[in-house]
Amino acid sequence: MTERIEIQVPKGVPRTRLEDFLLGRFTGLSKMYIRDVVRDEKCEVNGRNENIGFRVRADDLIEIELDMERENAMRPQKIELSIIYEDAHLIVIDKPAGMLVHPTHRERNGTLLNAVTYHVNIGNKGAFIRPGLIHRLDKETSGVVVLAKTAAAHRKIAGQFMKRFVKKTYLALVDGDVEADNGSIDAPIGRFDETKFWDVKEDGKPSQTNYRVAERYADTTLLELEPVTGRTNQLRIHCQHIGHPIVGDIKRGGREFERLCLHAWKIAFRHPSGGEFLQFEADKQVFTKLRESR
């Protein structure tokens, strides 16, 4: 149930983006939800609907309609994390397969966001730190995930993603022997409304994935995949399209396995503050260890 909440911006608060002010005030609500509320014109500043980038200042009156029962996205939970890198601006995690990156209506606990929220606020005596997801991995996919620790860092890194300045490399164990040592898969991807399924579609959006064979085994191939575009389920769809579905991807013809064998191995981008080039890697031997344990 929604309720109308009135907030007067306190004296001494510097001019701040409306989005950042609301996120700081309602720490348990997700960024996506607050953005939707503002876009749906359920938030007024001094009697006017403003966008999320509007800068509020001291004594402004904000009136907003919120469903506070959705206050769960930033619930801190003590969960073990595999941290690759961390500084004042960002944190890089090696996410295990089977973990959601953020809470949903069905699964409200045990997610990466719950765990990181707990971690970055341990012993924090300042303002509540709201880690921001800049990109996502499917629940079944493991590997590198980057989260921002400040709103400014989030905007700058997200901007690099939008401009395709970020380089990502995945590892995928696929069925069969991929004949070519390297190549490029160009196949448009779209959603079939009748089945609600994403797949290669003639009138879909242009999609491209580059690949290179890393290892060949008896009946599987380990591929390095570089998505040029970022469509929904792109890597899974493109591997199936060339006749080599990812091991564990049963819905797309892959053999049954204990997990989906897709792993976000490397990511590279520029630091949101200093601008230096950064590259992070997750454990490359993840599938080798699985094979050896069987």
Domain residue limits, the chain: 3-70, 72-158, 167-265
pLDDT at 108: 76
Q: pLDDT-derived band of residue 240, with 50, 70 and 90 as boundaries?
A: very high
Summarised one tens digit per residue, pLDDT across range 129-150 is 888 889 989 999 999 999 999 8
Homologous superfamily (CATH) for 72-158: Pseudouridine synthase (3.30.2350.10)
Cα–Cα distance, 243 to 233 (Å, whole number):
16
Question: Catalytic: 138?
Answer: yes
pLDDT at 251: 93
Summarised one tens digit per residue, pLDDT across range 178-233 is 999 999 999 999 999 888 899 999 999 999 999 999 999 999 999 999 999 999 99
Homologous superfamily (CATH) for 167-265: Pseudouridine synthase (3.30.2350.10)
CA angle at residue 38 from 19 to 137, to 5 degrees? Answer: 70
Task: State the pTM of this model.
Answer: 0.80
Q: Looking at the domain that runs over 3-70, which CATH code has it been given? A: 3.10.290.10
CA angle at residue 181 from 177 to 184, to 5 degrees? Answer: 100
- Per CATH, 72-158 and 167-265 having the same topology is answered yes
Active-site residue identified among 40, 94, 138, 249: 138
Cα–Cα distance, 70 to 28 (Å, whole number):
8
Output 194-198 pairs: Cβ under 8 A, ≥24 positions apart: 198/231, 198/232, 198/233, 198/237
pLDDT at 71: 67
Residue 262, burial from CB neighbour count under 10 angstroms (0-12, 13-18, 19+): buried
Q: What percent of the chain has pLDDT over 70?
A: 96
CB atoms under 10 Å from CB of 188, counted, come to 15
Helix axes 18-25, 151-162, angle to 10 degrees: 130
Q: What is the mean pLDDT of the chain?
A: 91
